[in-house]
Each structure stands twice: as structure tokens, then as C-alpha cells.
Amino acid sequence: MVVSVSRFDSWPIARQWAVGLWSVVTLGYCLSRGIPFDRASQLLIIISAALAFSVGTTTRAGRIFADWIPFFALLYGYDYSRGAADSLGFPIRVKELYNIEISLFGWLTDGKSPTNYLQHALYNPAHIAWWESLVALMYCSHFVVPWTIVGVLYVRNRTRWAMFARRIITMSLAALVTYIVVPAAPPWYAAKVGLGDPVVRAATRGWSNLGLPIAHQIISLGQGVVNQVAALPSLHAGTTVTISLFFWPRVRNIVRVGLVAYMSFMTFTLVFGGEHYLFDAVLGAVYAVIVEIGCRLWERRKLRPEIVGAGHQLHGKHKAD
């Protein structure tokens, strides 16, 4: 992005007002309507932020729209293709995934699936524990964190924005191909056909402890396009690993500890909540590693080494005050 992100008090007055107004409007929207999870609202917030931060620079509005519209068009295409992927005639893998889960991890969980084991130990239908609010936040962070990152990177460093967006899109497309070829049932689906003990979809019930106007959005998100058998690989897990691998060489050790905790807690959330098998999460991590390696190799061949290594910043020129 061709804007400066120096100290706020050094910005032109017009940019200070524009960013301040954007911040107030966005905060008011989130407090009154809930955190936006739909693509349209996210696109509006990100583009309006980019426009606000570009005030007083040589950045043209047309450049911002040209950068973002194709990106979100690809994501919209992914959403709707993912929803239709289970209607192309490939057999749904239900028992196969359950058997793989037991074979790989049953020795750690008394012969049960990890989901059954965790829900037997931790789930209480009569009481929502305080930590389940953290589970709900973690589960839903998948719909916010990646797009917050792409928005911030666009304002701060357009080269790194392109690198991160490349990984997110590649990861999504790789997962989509797998959803089409290998439709796979999650634990809650398998339990409905008698595989293992009953499974409750518990990933989002912690919202009731928070009192935020968001739970209904989560439940209704993707209605009409959702694919109930797009479990393999876990895109939730794969995205957290993608984020962690991208930032790993760029952050201090204390932040790396946080990244490990982020990946671990997301995996716990998915398995405990009945949304994914542990095998799904592991495969999502494998996809992320392959995507990261592939992107790094491509960038080393196609981009200048100093850009790949340092994330060359592309700040634009300021207009004369």
C-alpha cells in the first residue's frame, strides 16, 4: 500500500480525521451489529480503511479497488464452490475418517475418538464453563483474523500483503480441491449415523456467556452455500498454521510462543467442539506447510531476494502540505 504509517501526529490533518472517522464508525458498527463475518461487510471495512489511510498520499482510489476486488472475488468464488462441492457425485467418507482417527489416536484416548474423549471429560450440558467462551472466540477467530491481517498488511507493507494473500488463496484452493474429490464427514456427522458416542457441536455455545450480538451470525453464516462434509483438511487449523509460518521468521521468540499456543488451542477447539477430527487438523497443518514451502520457492525465483527476505515496503509519496 502506498501510504505512510508513521506517528499519528505526523499525519496530515485530513488523514487524521479520515482515520478517526473510520475508527468511530467501525467500532459503532461492531458494537451494535456484532463483528462482521460476511465477505461484503469485511470488504467494505477493509476498503474504507485503505481509503482513509491513503488520504494525503498519491494513492488513487482506483488502485485500492483494483487490488481488493479481485481478491475478494476469488474468495466469493471459493465460498460458493465449496458449498457445491458435495453435490458432484463423489462418495462421502464417513466411516473411513472415523476408523483413521481411532487407528491413529485411539491409543491415547482409551479407544475412543479424541472428540468423544474430550466431550466425556469436559462437556457439561447443564453448565457452560467460563473457558468455553474462549473456545467460541477461538473458533470464530477464523472468520476475522486472516482478513484483519490482510487489511493491516495492505496499509503497512504491500509486498507482505501480496505474499500473505498468496498463501491464504492457495491454501483455500488446495482445500477446495480436496473437498470436491474427498467429501469427508466431521465427528458430529459421523455420530448421527452411529459411529462412536453422541457428539455435540459445542464450539460456539460459549457465546452465551459473553452477551455479544454475534452468535446468530455464526449460526447463519454461509446458509445456502455451506458444505457439511468439507472437513478434510481442516481449513481452520490450516489457516492458523499458515499465519504462524508466515510470521515465524519475522517475530521474536515470545511471539512464537503465542503462535504455538494459537495453533494448539485452535486444534483443541475444533476437536472438542466436534467440528473436526484430530486427523483433519493435522492434515490441514500439512497442507499449510506445503503451501508455505511452495510459495517461498516461487517467490525466490520470481521476486528480488531483498523483497522476499525483508518485505520491502512500498510507501507512496506524500502530497505536499
Omega of the bond leading into 233 within 30 degrees of 0 (cis): yes
Q: Distance between CA atoms of 67 and 71, rounded to whole angstroms?
A: 7
pLDDT band at 244 (very low <50, low <70, confident <90, very high): very high
Q: Name the least confident of 15-24, 76-85, 231-240.
A: 76-85
Residue of higher predicted confidence among 62 and 181: 181
Alpha carbon distances (Å) from 40 to 213, 230, 243:
18, 23, 23
- The domain segmentation of the chain, as residue ranges, is 89-310
pTM, 2 dp: 0.81
Q: Distance between CA atoms of 309 and 313, rounded to whole angstroms?
A: 12
Q: Distance between CA atoms of 267 and 284, rounded to whole angstroms?
A: 10
Q: Name the least confident of 2-6, 22-26, 253-257.
A: 2-6
Fold of 89-310: Vanadium-containing Chloroperoxidase; domain 1 (1.20.144)
Q: Is 12 helix (H, G, I), strand (E, B) or coil?
A: coil
Average pLDDT over residues 22-34: 80
Give the per-residue pLDDT at 309: 46
Q: Name the least confident of 47-51, 157-161, 194-198.
A: 47-51
Average pLDDT over all residues of the chain? 81
